[in-house]
Structures are given as structure tokens and as C-alpha cells.
Amino acid sequence: MAKIHNLGFPRIGPDRELKRHLESYWRGEITDNELAGRSESLWLQNLQRQACLDVVQVGDFSLYDHVLDTSFLFGVVPERIQRATEDPLQQYFLNARGSSADAVCCAANAGEMTKWFNTNYHYIVPELAAGQTFRLNAQSLLHQITLTRQAGFDAKPVLLGPLTYLSLAKCEDGLNALTHVDNLLRVYKELLSLLAQKGVEWVQIDEPILCTDLSAEWKMAFRYAYEVLSQAPGKLLLTTYFGKLQDNLALITTLPVAGIHIDAIAHRQELPAIVESLADEQVLSLGVIDGRNVWRAPLAQTANWLRPFHDKLQHRLWLAPTCSLLHVPLSVKAETTLPDAITSRLAFAEEKIDELAGLRTLLQRDNPEQVASEQEGEVSPPLLIEDAGAPVLFREAPYASRRTAQAKALNLPSWTTTTIGSFPQTPAIRHARAQWRKGQLSHAEYLQFIKDQIADCIKTQEQLGLDVLVHGEAERNDMVEFFGELLDGVAILKNGWVQSYGSRCVKPPVIYGDVKRVAPMTVALTTYAQSLTSKPVKGMLTGPVTILNWSFVRDDISQAQVAQQLAFAIREEVLALEDAGIRIIQVDEAALREGMPLRQAEADDYLNWAVNAFRLATSGVRNETQIHTHMCYSDFNNIIGAIMNMDADVLTIEAARSGLKVLSALKDHGYQNSIGPGIYDIHSPAIPDESVLAKRLHTFASFLEQQQLWVNPDCGLKTRSWQEASRALGAMVNAANNVRKLAATG
């Protein structure tokens, strides 16, 4: 009989309890022991939510991040962190967050944080020192195994695999991380022995890099590492996820491991061959419930598909979600405000676990015909895709002519100063919004409040002397959720939180049907802002690709089709803003890069439809209307061509932290359009120095033509205070003025 298991479960709790416990701890309101006790009970509740499984995973829970946990498990703690404090828990949070205002101790910079494969989860990058030594710290994992058993469950520890761990790490000496492989394998072996002594039978060892392009060197390292680990006691379930193995499939079927886990949905075609290639006693775990989407699985259909493999493999067949359920919300039960027609199609972590149990039951039935007949009716109703018309992807004229038309229409000074869109989201704004949502503030009162904020924001920008103003986004809780609430075919969940990093959670909208714009979304407030000033106010929209990448997306049509629907909707809004007299419109594509597929071969296709979606959204305006876009990063490796193809009139990017690489790349590629390289880092509360900023402007000008350059911060200001924002922008405007003066006299 097939075994059911899980790869990982959401940590945050039904009501984001983990976030609250962590924040209380960081504020010093609860002790180490209280934090440990509260998080332990949260984790024990998670076990109960998975009680129907044959074995539960241990080690997937984390106080902050499982990659950081792995570093601490193996004693990889950067020296600056060790110097700052001896206390392990303080070291852990210091490595995660650096010293912040509410930190309980000591100072040190946090580790770098970056995206976990193609998800919106972020991990702390391991730092390997030259001559790094590894030291096992397994007490906490062993303790969790004991507790799991006391709670009556069979425990399967989860470890991040040595090669994925090394591939994520950065090496202080700039050497290849593989130089550490022998030393690292030694502690893995030590750990496997300890686990075996504790009576653990199976260990889940995660190697998601097997679903990425691997060089011959890394493939060889896999053969080597798993040969070494096979000398340790215990059974390894080599676990892969986030896509197809492609040429790594041949590799993993020859590794000496007791079992393998693959994403069976991605490998549907290859499954018969994979089953054939198994060694005699080898276990095959199939990811059959999609861990990345929020849709119910067609269980009878899945059972019928699996039946021949089940008959053949029997107890050697395990069933699981395709990947950890970390990337979906906890439970649909909390969604009490959505129509049944939507909730009845949803499955989050708890429901996905139930689906596994349902699948096991179906496979046990001796009457396959009956299961086959149940298949009907479980398929969700076909969704209508209305033809929105042929996409238009080109502006009226090429950039050179548009530049002239815009210069005439807008008459902006050289070194034009602007911002990225948002101004501080103050406690007062959040409070007013909460009151309005609860009905304690009428719609009219809330609207007036927002208008007052906008008026203040315009006034401040005029006083600062900025050239292109924004309305400040006071009405937006989140750049995607705001549009999700207003678009047809998109649902906003009440409690659908997913961990982004540490205590931070996001609530992605759910795109469940055809996306349509039903009414103007930003026109009223943008034109209100414009009515208050003679300077141009820049309209502010979120781009189609960013809305898509930060949402859960329907899976009955392609992502490219969904992006196109979103693009048509945003295009209508762009045109409505233009009609209403807005002369500059920014369409943010903050998440364009993070939607890149893990495989290079698929990246071109993605970039092609993503860029087309942006062009569709923005190409309808007159030559005189200036289109801006913003991206919050400067790592444009592999996407420079795509960026140029977007053909935005002005591109604002992050450049304050990561240097000038992107500018020289743009120069090399002959970029002609305008660009605002972020001149200071808004993530830091520090006020930038005027003369440093002026110097930076000169440096920018050594890469690109001066007429191409805009002056702006590197991202929105919503996380800053008004005082910080005004002082920093003041320095920025002064720097621009000084550079202009110098140009006039020199």
C-alpha cells in the first residue's frame, strides 16, 4: 500500500502567530524560553494538522529560515556574528536581520538575503570562510524527533542536501564552494549516524538544484557526494522539486540512495521509464499534489493515472505534494468572505494533506471502474477566455522621435528629479484604512483622508523642488493587492498569508478567471493630485508581469495568456490616465526578473511574453506621453536585451547598492532611452550626503549621455518616515541643482 508523506508545512500558524512571537521577542517582551515554548506549540499544532500522514517530516519548521538553520546545524556562523555575541539564539537572529533598532543585543551586519529558487520565499545566504570548519549542532533536531514521537508520530528528518547548500553559499575566498565538499560531507555523515542511532529509518534530503542546469563538475560532485553518504547508516530519500530533472534524471536514477522524490506532475511523460529504472528495493516518492498552486487536485483522475504504478510498486510507492507546502497558505477554512464558487475550487496546505489521504483511499478501492466514473464532475467548469483583440506592441514612433516630442510637451530641466512612487505609509494611514475596512470610517471620510494625504504629499514635493511629482500611493496597502481588489477575475484572500522571509508574510491575490478592468482604478486620485500642481504628476500602475508573478494563477490557461489579459486591463487604465490629462505614466515591473524560469532554455520564451505584456500595456499612448518603468534590482545579467525591448521612455532601477555594472552593460548594448539609476538606498535610514550624491551623478554621466539621466532614489519611500524621506530627497535635489549649476558655468 502506498505511503503518504509531506515535504514541508507552513510555519507561520493559522493567524501568523510566529510573526507575533518573533516580533515580541525582538522587542524584548518575551524571553528566549517563552519564544521557544510558543514556537514549539505552534509546530506541534502543525503536526496535528498532518496527522493522517504515515510519517511526518521534522526539521521543516524554522524560527526564521531553513537555510540559516542548516548553517547553524553545521556550525557555519560568520566570524563577525560570533564576535558580536556568544549566545546562539542572538547569533541566529543577528545573522538573519543584522542589528536593528529593536534587536536585543550587539551590532553586526545581517547575512545577504535572496530568493529561494523561483519562489517568493527568501533565504539567508550561507557564508563560507576561507578554511571554513564545520561542527555539528544537532541537539535541536534530535529534540524535535523525540517530541514528534512523543506526540505519536513516525518522524522523518528533513535536511537540505549538501550540494544544494554549497551551491547557495558564497565563499569568502571567492573559491568554488565545492572545495568545501569533503569537510561538509564529514558532518553530514556524522549527523546521519546520530539519526540512525536514534532509530530514524528515513531521512529526506532535499536537492532542488537537480531541477536547474548543472555543469559537468556539479554532476560529478553529486556522484561523489552520494557515494560518500551511502557509507553512512540510514535510508536517504533524495528529494527534488521545482520542475523537471531533464538531463539530471539519468544522474539521479544512478545515485546510491534508498529512495527518490520527483515532481510527478512535471514528469508525467517520463514516469513509466522512471519506474522501470528503479533499483530493486528503491522507493519512488511521487509529488502528485501541486505544492505551488492553490487549486484542488482532480483526485479520481490522479488515482486512475497512478493505479498501474501503485500495482507495480506497492509499498515502494510514496505519495506527496510536489514540493514543500511552505509556498501556499495554511487553510481554506479561514476564507469566509469569498463566494463558494471560488472557495470550492481552492486547496491550501491543510486541504492538500487531506487530498493525499483521499488519494490513498481511492487507490485502495478494488473497483477501479467506479473510481473512473467519479472522475466526471470533479473537473472544474471550463473557464471562458474572451478574445480581447489582437495585441498592439509598438509605440507610434521610435524613441528618438518620442524624446523630442516629450521634451517639447513636458519642458523638464536637465537632471530631472523624481521619485519611484510611494511616500511614507504612516501609522495614521494604516489606522485610517483599518477603520474604513471595519466600517468605522465611512467611504467618504476615508476618501477625504486620502485626499488630504495626497495634498500634503504634493505640497512637500513642491517645497523640496522635485520636478516630476507623484501622488504618493497613500491609498495602496500593496502594489499588487490594490489592483487585485479592483480587477475582475482576481480574488483577495482574507487570511491567505505565505511566508516571504522570517516574520514577513505576503498575501498573494488569486487569479481565478478572465481578468478584466471594470472601472477606472487610479484616475480620480491621480487627476486630483495633478489638479493641485502645475508640475507634471506621474501616474502609477503595477505592470502585468508583476501582478502575475506575485499572485496565485489559474492553471487552465498558460501564464502568457494570463499576462496578456492583465496587460489589456492595464492598457485601458494607461489610456484612461492619458485621456484625463496625465502626461507621464509609470508601469512598475518590480517582479519581472523573479519570474524567470530556472532553466536557461525556458527563459527566452518567458522574457518574450513578459516583455510583450509590458509593451501591450504601455504602447497605446501618444508620442508625447512619457512611459516610465521601475525595477527594484540592478542585476540585469541575462535580461539586458529584454529590458531594452520593453522600450520604456524612462527606466528607473536600483543602482545605489550594487554599483555600476548595469550602467556599463546598458552602455555596451547601446541603450538610447532614458534611465534613472537609483542614487541612494532607500532601505537604509541614513541620510545621504549631498556631495556624495553629486559625485555619483557625475559617475553616472561617465557611462551614459547626460540627457539620458534622471535623478531618483532606488525604490519607493513607503517604509521610511516623512522626516527621513524629506531630508534624503532634499539632499538629492540639492545635488541635482549643484550639478546643473556646474554644467551651466563649466
Task: Give me 531's grid cell.
Answer: 489638479
The footprint of Zn ion on residues 684-703 (CB under 5 A) is none
**Are 480 and 542 contacting, i.e. CB atoms less than 8 angstroms apart?**
yes
Give the amino acid at 323.
C
> Smallest distance from the beta carbon of 678 to ligand GLN, in angstroms?
10
> Smallest distance from the beta carbon of 372 to Zn ion, in angstroms?
51
Q: Which of 7, 482, 3, 485 is nearest to 292 (CA)?
A: 7
Beta strands in 227-379 (DSSP E): 235-239, 259-263, 283-289, 317-321
- In whole angstroms, what separates CA 745 from the centre of its chain? 48
Angle 469-532-740 from CA coordinates, rounded to 5°? 35
Q: Specify the residue for cell string 509529488.
A: 287
The footprint of ligand GLN on residues 458-477 (CB under 6 A) is 473
> Smallest distance from the beta carbon of 77 to Zn ion, in angstroms?
31
Instruction: Return the residue of 60, 578, 588, 649 that touches ligand GLN, per CB under 6 A.
Output: 588
When asked if residue 200 is in the footprint of ligand GLN (CB under 6 A), the reply is no
When asked if residue 654 is in the footprint of ligand GLN (CB under 6 A), the reply is no
Q: How far apart are CA 257 and CA 278, in angstroms?
A: 11
Beta strands in 184-272 (DSSP E): 202-206, 235-239, 259-263
Q: How far apart are CA 242 and CA 324, in angstroms?
A: 10
| Cβ-proximal residues to 533 (8 Å cutoff; 6+ apart), any chain | 458, 462, 469
Q: Which is nearer to ligand GLN, 157 or 676 (CB)?
A: 676
When asked if residue 421 is in the footprint of ligand GLN (CB under 6 A), the reply is yes
**Are 718 and 422 contacting, i.e. CB atoms less than 8 angstroms apart?**
yes
Instruction: Return the residue of 171, 284, 511, 632 that touches Zn ion, per CB under 5 A.
Output: 632
**Separate counts of helices (H) and strands (E) for the chain:** 27, 24
Task: Give me 325's grid cell.
Answer: 507546502
Catalytic, 315? Answer no
Q: If contact means CB under 5 to 8 A according to the sort of partner, which of ligand GLN, Zn ion, none does residue 718 touch?
A: ligand GLN
According to DSSP, the residues that pair with 516 across neighbouring strands are: 488
Q: How far apart are CA 746 and CA 740, in angstroms?
A: 10
Q: Which stretch binds ligand GLN (CB under 6 A): 27-35, 208-216, 311-319, 712-720?
A: 712-720
Q: Which stretch binds ligand GLN (CB under 6 A): 23-31, 115-123, 416-424, 456-464?
A: 416-424
Give the 3-state secondary structure of residue 58.
strand
The helix (H) or strand (E) run that includes residue 511 is strand 510-517
Q: Which is nearer to Zn ion, 515 or 632 (CB)?
A: 632
**Are 323 and 349 contacting, i.e. CB atoms less than 8 angstroms apart?**
no
Q: Which is nearer to ligand GLN, 467 or 473 (CB)?
A: 473
Task: Give me 305's grid cell.
Answer: 493515472
> Smallest distance from the beta carbon of 589 to ligand GLN, in angstroms?
9
When asked if residue 715 is in the footprint of ligand GLN (CB under 6 A), the reply is yes
Instruction: Quickly count: other Cβ atoms within 10 Å of residue 256's Cβ.
Output: 15
| Cβ-proximal residues to 85 (8 Å cutoff; 6+ apart), any chain | 91, 94, 105, 106
Q: Which is nearer to ligand GLN, 13 or 424 (CB)?
A: 424
Q: If contact means CB under 5 to 8 A according to the sort of partner, which of ligand GLN, Zn ion, none does residue 212 touch?
A: none
Q: Which of 162, 146, 134 is nearest to 73 (CA)?
A: 134
Please pick, among 143, 431, 669, 683, the residue that the annotation labels catalytic: 683
Q: Which is nearer to Zn ion, 203 or 653 (CB)?
A: 653
**Are 629 and 588 contacting, i.e. CB atoms less than 8 angstroms apart?**
yes
Instruction: Return the residue of 8, 14, 688, 716 that touches ligand GLN, per CB under 6 A.
Output: 716
The footprint of ligand GLN on residues 590-609 (CB under 6 A) is 590
Residue nearest to ligand GLN (CB): 716
The footprint of ligand GLN on residues 532-551 (CB under 6 A) is 540
Q: Which stretch binds ligand GLN (CB under 6 A): 55-63, 207-215, 345-353, 415-423?
A: 415-423
Q: If contact means CB under 5 to 8 A according to the sort of partner, which of Zn ion, ligand GLN, none does residue 720 touch?
A: none
Q: How far apart are CA 704 and CA 485, in angstroms?
A: 40
> Smallest distance from the beta carbon of 588 to ligand GLN, in angstroms?
5
- In whole angstroms, what separates CA 441 from the centre of its chain? 33
Q: If contact means CB under 5 to 8 A according to the sort of partner, which of Zn ion, ligand GLN, none does residue 325 touch?
A: none
Residue nearest to Zn ion (CB): 632
When asked if residue 715 is in the footprint of Zn ion (CB under 5 A), the reply is yes
**Are 615 and 646 contacting, i.e. CB atoms less than 8 angstroms apart?**
yes
Q: If contact means CB under 5 to 8 A according to the sort of partner, which of ligand GLN, Zn ion, none does residue 252 touch?
A: none
Q: How far apart are CA 653 and CA 632, in angstroms?
A: 6
Q: Which stretch binds ligand GLN (CB under 6 A): 9-17, 108-116, 152-160, 417-425?
A: 417-425
Q: How far apart are CA 37 and CA 88, in angstroms?
A: 17
When asked if residue 653 is in the footprint of ligand GLN (CB under 6 A), the reply is no
When asked if residue 208 is in the footprint of ligand GLN (CB under 6 A), the reply is no
According to DSSP, the residues that pair with 488 across neighbouring strands are: 516
- The contact pattern for ligand GLN, residues 610-649, with x = CB under 6 A and - = no contact, is --------------------x-x-----------------
Angle 228-231-233 from CA coordinates, rounded to 5°? 130
Q: Which stretch binds ligand GLN (CB under 6 A): 383-391, 414-422, 610-618, 641-649?
A: 414-422
Q: Which stretch binds ligand GLN (CB under 6 A): 129-137, 216-224, 233-241, 420-428?
A: 420-428
Q: Which is nearer to ligand GLN, 632 or 694 (CB)?
A: 632
Q: Which is nearer to ligand GLN, 514 or 589 (CB)?
A: 589
Instruction: Return the residue of 718, 729, 731, 739 that touches ligand GLN, per CB under 6 A.
Output: 718
Q: Which residues are catalytic?
A: 683
For binding to ligand GLN (CB under 6 A), which residues are involved? 420-422, 473, 479, 540, 588, 590, 630, 632, 715-716, 718
For binding to Zn ion (CB under 5 A), which residues are involved? 632, 715
